């Protein structure tokens, strides 16, 4: 006769399941939300101010979330000032300096990563020091150079300093990526008859696209937002860049501060950078994460 045993009860620890939402997860979520709100609050304030009517902007107490909206401030900045021309100026200067940074900094980074150069550590230390050096201290010297060379009101007066300032960062970032690539790729390329330049352009650079995009966007943003050099070296109205144009917006009266127009100009000047980052978001994340871990 077969004895039927009751099913064994699972151990007590197997029945206890961890709760889906723990206190730690809750606090972490709250912290992330607070940090995001804290970071986005100034941007949201500028956007809301740019679409408020003047009565809501000057209202006391503050009107945080308006019920009346207007695009008059955007129309005003484009009617009163050639803002599209300012944006094109900023784009040309930033884009040109970024291309020069990548074209000059990438081969230098490859040389520092692969070649045994005399005084390599001294060169790397110098590049790092230049990266940390506050560029505003170069202002007086650059001003004298611009005067001596007659580059005032010339885009080169901005392109050359922006390139020189951003090249050290390009070298450091790209060097770390080249060091992560296996040397077998270069050995195979040499066997196939590639010279150093062909190997760099056709094989290595496509593998470092995330680093190129990340470095290029950082250089582009730095050149786009620069203010002191653009304010001093360019005085011709038709050649001014976005930061200078925004700073020089004035009201119709002497003591009037056009908050709505300033907010609209800030949004217009920032929007291209936001679009650029969103378009290359995946590449930027790949570049930042790949540069932090050696494969």
DSSP per position, 50-109: HTS-HHHHS-SS--SS-S----HHHHHHHHHS-HHHHHHHHHHHHHHHHHHHHHHHHHHH
Tokens, residue 48:
């809301």
The pLDDT value recorded for residue 253 is: 59
* Mean pLDDT of the region 128-142: 84
The pLDDT value recorded for residue 66 is: 82
Q: What is the pLDDT of residues 59-109, one digit of tens each?
A: 888 888 888 888 888 998 888 888 899 999 999 999 999 999 999 999 989
Check residue 26 and report its DSSP letter: H
Of the candidate ranges 32-36, 45-49, 153-157, 251-255, the one whose mean pLDDT is the lowest: 251-255
Mean of all residue pLDDT scores within the chain: 83
* More confident of the two residues 20 and 35: 35
CA within 13 Å, CB half, 179: 15
**In this structure, CATH architecture of domain 81-290:** Orthogonal Bundle (1.10)
pTM, to two decimals: 0.81
Assign 3-state DSSP to the chain and report helix, strand, coil percentages, each to 5. 75, 0, 25
Q: Quick one: which of 171, 266, 159, 280 has its CA closest to 217?
A: 280
Tokens, residue 82:
């050639």
The pLDDT value recorded for residue 294 is: 47
* Mean pLDDT of the region 126-140: 84
Q: Is the pLDDT of residue 213 over 80?
A: yes
Q: To 10 degrees, what angle do helices 209-225 and 281-290 make?
A: 110
The pLDDT value recorded for residue 92 is: 96
Tokens, residue 224:
């786009």
Q: Where are the domains of the chain?
A: 22-70, 81-290
* More confident of the two residues 289 and 177: 177
The pLDDT value recorded for residue 295 is: 43
From residue 292, give the alpha-carbon distance in Å to each of 107, 180, 213, 222, 286.
21, 10, 16, 22, 10
Q: Is the pLDDT of residue 14 over 70?
A: no
Q: Counting beta carbons within 10 angstroms of the beta carbon of residue 25, is it exposed (0 to 12), middle (13 to 18) or buried (19 or more)?
A: exposed
DSSP assignment of 108-144: HHHHHHHS--TTHHHHHHHHHHHHHS-GGGGHHHHHH
Give residue 247's pLDDT band: very low, low, confident or very high (50, 70, 90): confident
């Amino acid at each position: 006769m077969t004895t039927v045993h009751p099913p064994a009860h699972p151990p007590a620890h197997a029945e206890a399941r961890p709760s889906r939402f723990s206190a730690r997860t809750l606090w972490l979520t709250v912290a992330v939300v607070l940090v995001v709100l804290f970071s986005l609050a100034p941007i949201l304030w500028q956007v809301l101010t740019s679409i408020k009517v003047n009565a809501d902007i000057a209202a006391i107490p503050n009107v945080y979330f308006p019920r009346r909206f207007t695009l008059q401030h955007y129309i005003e900045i484009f009617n009163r000032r050639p803002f599209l021309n300012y944006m094109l100026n900023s784009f040309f200067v930033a884009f040109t300096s970024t291309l020069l940074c990548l074209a000059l900094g990438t081969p230098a980074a490859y040389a520092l990563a692969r070649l045994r150069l005399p005084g390599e550590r001294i060169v790397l230390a110098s590049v790092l020091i230049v990266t940390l050096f506050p560029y505003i201290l170069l202002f007086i010297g650059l001003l004298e150079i611009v005067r001596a060379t007659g580059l005032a009101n010339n885009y080169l007066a901005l392109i050359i300093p922006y390139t020189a300032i951003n090249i050290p960062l390009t070298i450091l970032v790209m060097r770390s990526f080249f060091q992560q690539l296996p040397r077998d790729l270069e050995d195979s390329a040499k066997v196939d008859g590639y010279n150093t330049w062909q190997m760099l352009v056709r094989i290595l650079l496509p593998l470092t696209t995330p680093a190129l995009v990340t470095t290029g966007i950082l250089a582009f943003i730095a050149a786009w937002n620069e203010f002191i050099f653009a304010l001093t070296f360019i005085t011709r109205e038709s050649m001014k860049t976005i930061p200078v144009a925004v700073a020089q917006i004035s009201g119709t009266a002497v003591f009037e501060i056009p908050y709505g127009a300033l907010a609209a100009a800030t949004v217009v000047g920032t929007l291209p950078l936001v679009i650029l980052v969103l378009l290359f978001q995946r590449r930027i994340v790949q570049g930042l994460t790949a540069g932090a871990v050696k494969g």
